[in-house]
Amino acid sequence: MIRLSGVTYKYRRGPAALYNFTAEFPPGITVILGPNGSGKTTLLKIIAGILRPQSGVVEIMGKTPEELRGKIAYIPQTGGLYPWMTVRENIALPLKLLRHPNPDEAVKPVAEALGISHILERYPKEISGGEQQKVLIARSLASGAEVWLLDEPLSMIDVDYRREIIQLLRKINKTMVIITHNVQDAVDLGGRIYIVKGPPLQIVTATSPDHYTDAEKLAEMAREAFRR
């Protein structure tokens, strides 16, 4: 369970991205659906411990993000892979940081499970956007992270990989917060959906898969929410 209470974050310029923001994200998939620039990425970075809020409390399984370092997988929208490391080194990195005795060996089963064994010795620039996304997921799986934070994981990949990545994410049984601005992605990911607007970020509507049946209905809900 992730809890945010009274969280405020303001960049040096512009309005507050988050102001007195309070929310709870239970185990399983939570999709945050909202327009670009509404403060979704800032929220994710605060939960990941990358940004420190000026006020408010962030609690993940009863701990602060700093206390939970090594147990959080944050997958940014772009550039999450280290260009100077091969795919194998990228996946092994969290294990090395956590002083795993044999990080390179530990990569093998994860790579096999995700079907990326053939690209292990390649550099990120040598693989496709979809493969890069799979490598990021492999890295998070290898790290054994309890909390997954994904920023627009489907935005840069083609249709074939999209289906595969969605299936992968749905199989991972962890607390997962996924942000997207795409209604179809929100529907297909199949978790609870928080429709948000901002800045400052605010949850307009919270819904679950039981309350919608298709993207069209959800899109209508989102449009309605943004009008309010």
- For the bound state, the minimum distance from the C-beta of residue 216 to other proteins, rounded and expressed in Å, comes to 36
One of 34, 53, 76, 191 touching other proteins (CB under 8 A): 76
CA atoms of 25 and 175, how far apart (whole Å): 8
Does residue 113 belong to the site contacting other proteins (CB under 8 A)?
Answer: no
Of 80 and 200, nearer to other proteins (C-beta) is 80
Does residue 12 belong to the site contacting other proteins (CB under 8 A)?
Answer: no
Does residue 2 belong to the site contacting other proteins (CB under 8 A)?
Answer: no
CA atoms of 37 and 41, how far apart (whole Å): 8
Of 177 and 195, nearer to other proteins (C-beta) is 177
Does residue 61 belong to the site contacting other proteins (CB under 8 A)?
Answer: no
DSSP letter at 126? G
Q: Residue 39 region, left (φ>0) first, then alpha (ψ -120 to 50), else beta?
A: left
CA atoms of 132 and 122, how far apart (whole Å): 11
One of 13, 83, 102, 210 touching other proteins (CB under 8 A): 83
Phi, psi of 179 (to 5 degrees): -105, 145
Total chain residues near other proteins (CB under 8 A): 25
Q: For the chain, what percentages of helix, strand and coil (3-state, to nearest 5) are there? A: 40, 25, 35
Of 124 and 130, nearer to other proteins (C-beta) is 124
Q: Which residues contact 227 (CB under 8 A, 6 or more apart)?
A: none
Considering only residues 141-160, where is the footprint of other proteins by CB under 8 A?
Answer: 143
Two structure tokens written together for 121? 């010795």
One of 35, 82, 105, 115 touching other proteins (CB under 8 A): 82
Considering only residues 114-133, where is the footprint of other proteins by CB under 8 A?
Answer: 123-125
Does residue 53 belong to the site contacting other proteins (CB under 8 A)?
Answer: no
Does residue 50 belong to the site contacting other proteins (CB under 8 A)?
Answer: yes
CA atoms of 138 and 88, how far apart (whole Å): 10
CA atoms of 71 and 158, how far apart (whole Å): 29
Q: Enumerate binding residues for other proteins (CB under 8 A).
A: 45, 48-50, 69-74, 76, 79-80, 82-85, 93-94, 97-98, 123-125, 143
